[in-house]
Every structure is written in structure tokens, then in C-alpha cells.
Structure 1
Amino acid sequence: MVEVVKLGIKRPVSGPLLPDPEPRDVLYTLLSVDDHLMEPPNTFEGRLPKKFVDVGPKVIETEEGHEVWTMEGTPYFQVGFMAVAGRSKEDFRFEPSRFEEVRPGCWDIHHRIKDMDLGGIWASVNFPSGATGFGATLFSNTKDPELGLACVRAWNDWLFEEWVGPYPDRIVPLGITYLSDPEKGAEEIRRNAKRGFKAVTLPEQPHEVGFPSVFDDYWEPIVRACAETETVLNLHVGSAGFAKVPPDAPGLELGSTLFQAMALQSCAEWLWSGWPARYPDLKIAMSEGGIAWVGGLIDRLDNIMARSGYGSGWQDPKISPSDCLRRNFWFCMIDDPSTVPTRYSMGVENILFESDYPHGDGTWPDTQEVMKKLIGDLPKDEIRMISHENASKLYRHPLPPTCLP
């Protein structure tokens, strides 16, 4: 019997899903480093210790008609997590509240591969949804810490076995980890790396979600584990909440406008935290943060080191902050034309492509055409780097025998 609770939030009503689009012509081999999934209702079934079955994550109904995740007796609003692909633009503002309101490719891996083929995407890095707290913040704040750690492990097992397993050449394994105990979090990163995970996602600004800031040695075990296992540390914009705006501001409009400002701040914080200087092999991807701001950041870093003296606290005299940025950080774009004229400031080898399926910012199913307009006039070697080679090298993921262009 499905549990029913009162949520106290009116269920949004949106129009029907549009018919499947026609398959798009493939002009480029695309490896997207930022897409999203919705955990299906059976994600945790059979994966948690028996003592946690009743209090662990599960999908329930609300009196208002939503399907929501619940854990430890607390319901969490919406299962859709901005999964609006396949809807009309007019419906993008209406958050899907039931699985039947989203494309099956959001939560069924076989349908996901079908949608990737329709849009011309070769391979994809997939981030978790709100069921985990978008980066395991929910699992890392359970009343029972043992439950939280069990949920982290169960989610990673589900992803590897059910999401990656059927199509290992098409899905790049990205995991979550336990944030409330860095030693256990590091153990989980190492456990995953041994079986083939290539990445992990952490909150971009952990102090905003109840954890120590990146300037605290608290994070040393996790950072060291990432560096030693070549696990890419992905900092997804918004994973620690949206930008702080005035209470009377248009929250959605202003918050989404400030994505690049959020990425700039978190990138600067991680750079000045000293972790990249201490761990030269650490690899950090600024997921969905855009790229236009990177050139300005590099200019500013060079200025404070060469002229103003404000950079006297830099930790490594053998490398400048801007060169450390180029060595340790990668930058990700969905559809950012300003990337093209500024690409040499950070290095073309540091630029990655994203399609952001199934979110409203995403380009599916027209990703190939968007990329043509964005990078189609660049030299072919640069097109190959941005569309797939850089991502393949960073995430150590294989490419098909023949790549385009």
C-alpha cells in the first residue's frame, strides 16, 4: 500500500509531453560532462540493511497528487528536479511532480540511451537529483549517521549496476560520497574508484549547506582520495543552493542569471583554499558554471600577484595562481558564445561541453545544431578537443572507433 501524506503545496499543472523528436544529424562526437538523472522509485530496494527499510528513501504520494521522496519520515518536495525536456517552453516553469510527467529517459537508462541517440550524444556524465540532496547533502545530514552512509553506498551501487552497467561505453560513472565523516567519505571514493568510477560530486560551497568551508583541513581526506585515485571532483553550480538575493527580488530570474557569478566565487574559493597547490594531480570540473568569467578571473589573479600585492598569501611559489587554475581546473559550457573569443586565456584543453539534459537550460534535442553554431567555425582540432577529446582524457572514458569531425 502506497503511503499518502499532506504536503501543503499545490501541485502545478503543465501540458502534456511533446511527441518524440526526429533524430538529429550527427556532426560531432559529443561527450557531455553534465546531464542529470531522476532516481526511479525502486533505487534503494534491496540495497539497504533491513533495519533501514522503513526509514530509508522511498517514493510516496501526497494528498495534492505529487509523488515525493521521503526519508526518516520527512517528505521532500518534488521528484522531477527540473526535468522539463520534451515539454513546450511555456511549461518549463512548472516543476514536474510525478514520474509520468517527465520523459522516461530521465529515470530509465534504456530510454536515456534512446534520447541520447535522438540528440546525437555519444556519452554522458550524470548527476544525481534531489533524492540525494543534489550531491549527498541530504544523506549526509540524516538523524542516524549509519543510515546516511548506507544510503550513499546504496545510491552508488545502484548507479554502477543499473545505470552504468548496461551501457558502460555511454555513461561515465560519477558518484556521491559521505560528507559528515571525511574519512568514510574518502573510503567511499576509493571503493568506487577501484570498480571504475571516474568522478564524484561535492557541494561547491560546503559551508552554505552546514559543513566546514573548503579552507578547513576537514576536507583533506576527501581531496587526497580524489587526487590519488584520479577521481574528478565536480563542483556543480547550485549544489550548495542558489545565490543570495533580496527577499523581494524575482528569485527564479535573478538566481538563474547569477549562475556564472556563483561559479566564479566557488572556483576562487577552491583555488585559494590551497588544495590545488598542495595536490598538483587534483582535477576539478566547474560543472554548469559557464566560461565567460574565466578570462576575467585569470586577469584579476595576474594583477593581484604582479601589481597590487594582494596575492601575497599564495601557497606555492613554484606556480602562479592563474597557471594553477589552468593545471587543476576544467570549465564547462552549455551554450556560451563568449567562450570562443576568450578560449585561449584558459586554454582550449580546459574547455568541456555539456548538454544539461533534461533541464530547462539544456540543448536537447538540438544539441548538435547548437554546437555547430557555437564552435563550427573553429579549427577542427579545437572542435574535437571541445566536443569530446578533452572530456575523454579528463574522465578517462573511451571514445567510439570513429569520431567526428
Structure 2
Amino acid sequence: MEGKSRANTGPGEDEHYVVISSDSHAGAGLRDYKPYLEKKWHEDFDAWADAYENPWDFVDPRLEREDFDFGEEEILTGAASWHSALSWDSPRRILHMDQDGVAAEVIFPNTAPPFMPGSVFAGTGPETRTEYEQRWAGLQAHNRWLVDFCSEAPGRRAGIAQVSLFDIDDAMAEVRKIKEMGLTGGILLPMDSPLSDSPPLYVSDLEPLWQICAELDVPVHKHAPVPPQLPHAERGGPGMVAISAIENHFYNRRGVAHLIFSGVLERHPSLKVILTEGGAGWIPEHLHQLDTIYDHGKNADGFRRFLQPAMEPLSLKPSEYFQRNFFLGASLFLPSEAAQRYEIGVDKIMWGVDYPHSEGTFPYSREAISHTFADVPPDEVRAMLGTTAGEVFNFDMQLLQQVADRIGPTVADVRTRPAKLPEVPGQSMSPVFA
């Protein structure tokens, strides 16, 4: 209980931390996207909306309750949470942020963009040009809705736009557009899945996209994948959710290797890549593995010579590229992961709430922060809770400090361990408290 014993001693104990959630989710109500679509798509949109069903509602375990009602619940499990009005109710979100001590949020999508299958940006690709154009119009509609949503809380939101990789010219034009519109969160790459038709990140076709993102300082995000909608199959069988959970780390590892060994980060040293809600404990071991491959590739003897062409252009080790280019959206950040912070990189970690998902820490984020960071030096806590995210997403930290001075946790608050953690699963389903 070292943190508690020094809660009221030492300089700076009353300083308020600026807390920026690196992982929040929002989206319009299903039919509220219509005004953001060109009129030529309205009839098709109405037909799509009439037929839309979320194939992943069943993942919320509270469905077993006799009194469970999607229309009444606010905090729902990830893939089911598009039902919640908290996805789009800006005033309610601000109240919740203040309650949780969160000064600002980085916003991923949550609801189904027009014409997209399922509840998230995953699954099979479009089969025709018309289907592609519909889906692309739907993603752009979400991005333009998000601009308006962020404007309802000036300085406290960084919205992440969605892009498709099926037409790189369209994707590049959208990157320029979101930069003009003021979405400062960056772009979300399509979520990985066994059925995804999106190109892997190492293909040369994507080179112009990396270049423009680096030039315009637009961060590139990979977020934890979820099971895709499976055409002509009933949810893919009972093991699909468990399979998705175990593959979460796999796809993040895959993305790190793609961007490093293909030379993307050598060619674009300023490119920011963020991995969110994919855990953090796997990183030291994975970087060791990549560094070993790199070292082997520098040895021209025997079978290792086949690695040499990939390693020759690289001026840094994989772990060095990681420290330069990558950041972690560390939602669901565990005390055990905080203990690995030096191996991961203190200045790489950006704490997050995962609002409004039931696996996130709301409404117990204050408890989650002190539970994880009570024994961590304040300068390191300050970086992981806010200042790193402030730099990555260009937040006005002076403005956010004014917000934090009103609602944020103090150094003393964080140093004082919670007297009691919320019960799992009765009060929270966050693994932080498990």
C-alpha cells in the first residue's frame, strides 16, 4: 500500500492529470447517416437500412437476463453497442467524460456505416463496382458525420476517419479531405479477418497512401478486429468469438512485421502507426523475435541469405522502428502491462477507456487509473494518461489542462489505491478489474 501511504505528501500532489482516452467509439444512429449521403443513394440506403441486422448482437452476455432490452441499456459489449444512443448523444458523453475524469477522447467508429455488412468495418469486400461505390459513399458519410460530432465538443475530440483500400486514389483524396475538415485522429485501416479482401500492408500499391499520411501527419490506426459477418453461414459456429480473441494479437503482430520488413517505415520515417485495444504484454517478446530475424538476415551464410534482400535496405532494427514510429492505444491496460512499461516504451503508451463498451472502464475509470498506476512515478503517469496522446493527435494541451483542472484526477488521487474495485461481472465487465 505504498501509494496510499504517500497520498498526501510531496510536491505536486494536487496537480490534475490531463486524461485523454485513446480508445472511444461513436457513430450516427443507423438512419441518421442519410443526410450525409448524396441523394442518388437515398433509395438504396432506405432499402439497406430496412434490411439491416447486426449479426453480432449475441455477444453481449446480458442477453441471458429476462429483463434485458437493447433499447434501455446504454453500456453494451463492443460489437453489440451500436444500439446505444451513447454512440451519438454528445451531451450525455460529455457528462460521462467529466464523471470519469476524461478531458478528451480519440474516436473510432461504432455504428454500421451505410451499405457496410455487419456492425464494423470488416468482412468480405465489394463484389462489383457499384457495391464499392455504395460502401465508399457510406464511409464518407460517416466521416462527415464525425466532423459535425467532433465540433460539438471543441478541442475535446479527435475523430478517426474510415478509408477503404480497394481504390487508393479515393483513399488518398479522402485523407486530404479529412485533413481539411479538421479530423485530427487519423485514418482507420480495414479490420483484419480471414475473409478480408483488403490488400496486406506490405503491397506496393499502398505506397502512395503511406506517403501522403506521412506528409500530412495523418496517423494510421489498426484496431482490435472482431469476427466478420460470414455470408451464407450462421455466425461461423460457436468458436468464432474465441478464435477472434486469440487472433487479436496475431493481426497486430502481423501488421508490425508488414510495415517494418517491407521498408514502409524506412521510406517514411515520420509515419505514425497506432495499435489499439490489442494488448501490450506481447510487444517485448515480438520485438525480440523480429530483431532476431533481422540479425539473421544480416548473416549471408546458409539459408539465412534468403532474408538478406529484405534486411539490407533497413537502417534500424525492428525494435528501433517500433520505438520511433509506433504508439499503443492502451485501453483495457492492465497493472501487469504497466509493470512492463520500460520494455514497451513509456512514451509509446496511451491509456484509453473503450467507451461506451461494457468491457471498457466507464464509469470506473478513476478506479482503473489508480489501480494500474498507483506505484508509477507521476511524470510517467502524465505521459501515459495524456501528454503522449496530446502530441500524437495535436490536442491543445493548455485548453485540456483547464478542463482537467475542473474534472481530472490529481496526483494524490492516482497514488491512492481504490478501497474497493467494481465487481466483475456484476458492476463491470472490464478485464482491468478481473
TM over 0.5: yes
TM-score of the aligned structures, taking structure 1 as reference length: 0.78
Quote the Cα distance in structure 2 between the aligned partners of 1:92 and 1:35.
Answer: 23
Q: Structure 2 matches for 1:198-217, cutoff 5 A?
A: 198=184, 199-205=186-192, 208-217=195-204
Task: Name 1:281's counterpart in structure 2.
Answer: 270
Quote the Cα distance in structure 1 between the aligned partners of 2:69 and 2:161.
Answer: 25
Shift of 1:255: 3.2
Q: Partner letter of residue 215 of structure 1?
A: Y
List per-residue Cα deviations over 1:247-268 (Å, max 9, x = no partner).
8774434533543343223322
Q: Which moved more, 1:323-332 or 1:307-316?
A: 307-316
Q: Partner letter of residue 327 of structure 1?
A: R
8 Å contact kept, 2:122–2:192: no
8 Å contact kept, 1:105–1:115: no
Which of 197, 209, 224 is the matching residue for 2:211?
Answer: 224
Shift of 1:384: 0.3
**Identity, % of aligned pairs?**
24
Distance 1:140-1:249 versus aligned 2 partners, 3 A rule: closer
Which of 372, 375, 379 is the matching residue for 1:374?
Answer: 372
Question: What's the secondary structure of 2:293's corresponding residue?
Answer: helix
Which of 295, 318, 321 is the matching residue for 1:321?
Answer: 318
Quote the Cα distance in structure 1 between the aligned partners of 2:355 and 2:58.
Answer: 11
Task: Name 2:135's counterpart in structure 1.
Answer: 148
Quote the Cα distance in structure 1 between the aligned partners of 2:49 and 2:262.
Answer: 35
8 Å contact kept, 1:298–1:345: no
Distance 1:326-1:206 versus aligned 2 partners, 3 A rule: farther
Shift of 1:130: 4.7
Task: Name 2:151's counterpart in structure 1.
Answer: 165
Quote the Cα distance in structure 2 between the aligned partners of 1:154 and 1:290.
Answer: 31
Q: Structure 1: which 5+ runs fail to align? A: 1-25, 59-69, 85-89
Which of 316, 324, 329 is the matching residue for 1:332?
Answer: 329
1:75 equivalent to 2:61? Answer: no
Task: Name 2:341's counterpart in structure 1.
Answer: 343
Quote the Cα distance in structure 2 between the aligned partners of 1:261 and 1:42.
Answer: 35
Structure with the larger helix share: 2
Task: Name 1:47's counterpart in structure 2.
Answer: 36
Q: Partner letter of residue 150 of structure 1?
A: A
Shift of 1:76: 3.6
Task: Name 1:293's counterpart in structure 2.
Answer: 282
Quote the Cα distance in structure 2 between the aligned partners of 1:99 and 1:222.
Answer: 40
RMSD of aligned residue pairs (Cα, Å): 3.2
Shift of 1:71: 2.6
Larger CA Rg, structure 1 vs 2: 2
Quote the Cα distance in structure 1 between the aligned partners of 2:363 and 2:102.
Answer: 9
Quote the Cα distance in structure 2 between the aligned partners of 1:383 and 1:115.
Answer: 22
Question: What's the secondary structure of 1:174's corresponding residue?
Answer: strand
1:353 equivalent to 2:381? Answer: no
Task: Name 2:106's counterpart in structure 1.
Answer: 125
Quote the Cα distance in structure 1 between the aligned partners of 2:71 and 2:208.
Answer: 38
Shift of 1:269: 2.7
Shift of 1:241: 4.5
Q: Partner letter of residue 177 of structure 1?
A: V
Quote the Cα distance in structure 2 between the aligned partners of 1:127 and 1:378.
Answer: 28
8 Å contact kept, 2:27–2:142: no
Question: What's the secondary structure of 1:210's corresponding residue?
Answer: coil
Distance 1:365-1:181 versus aligned 2 partners, 3 A rule: same
Quote the Cα distance in structure 2 between the aligned partners of 1:258 and 1:205.
Answer: 10
Higher relative contact order (CA 8 A, sep 6+): 2
Distance 1:98-1:78 versus aligned 2 partners, 3 A rule: farther
Q: Partner letter of residue 324 of structure 2?
A: R
Q: Structure 2: which 5+ runs fail to align? A: 1-14, 75-83, 230-235, 405-409, 412-434
Quote the Cα distance in structure 2 between the aligned partners of 1:172 and 1:73.
Answer: 31
Quote the Cα distance in structure 2 between the aligned partners of 1:301 and 1:97.
Answer: 47
Task: Name 1:386's counterpart in structure 2.
Answer: 384
Task: Name 1:9's counterpart in structure 2.
Answer: none
Which of 232, 237, 241 is the matching residue for 1:252?
Answer: 241
Q: Partner letter of residue 182 of structure 2?
A: G
8 Å contact kept, 2:123–2:196: no
Distance 1:139-1:188 versus aligned 2 partners, 3 A rule: farther
List per-residue Cα deviations over 1:184-215 (Å, max 9, x = no partner).
11100111012211211012548841122212
Q: Partner letter of residue 118 of structure 1?
A: Q
Q: Which moved more, 1:392-401 or 1:254-263?
A: 254-263
Distance 1:107-1:78 versus aligned 2 partners, 3 A rule: farther
Distance 1:137-1:260 versus aligned 2 partners, 3 A rule: closer
8 Å contact kept, 1:29–1:122: yes
8 Å contact kept, 2:123–2:228: no
Quote the Cα distance in structure 1 between the aligned partners of 2:161 and 2:124.
Answer: 13
1:109 equivalent to 2:100? Answer: no
Task: Name 2:396's counterpart in structure 1.
Answer: 398
Shift of 1:111: 1.2
8 Å contact kept, 2:354–2:361: yes
Quote the Cα distance in structure 2 between the aligned partners of 1:186 and 1:97.
Answer: 41
Shift of 1:216: 1.3
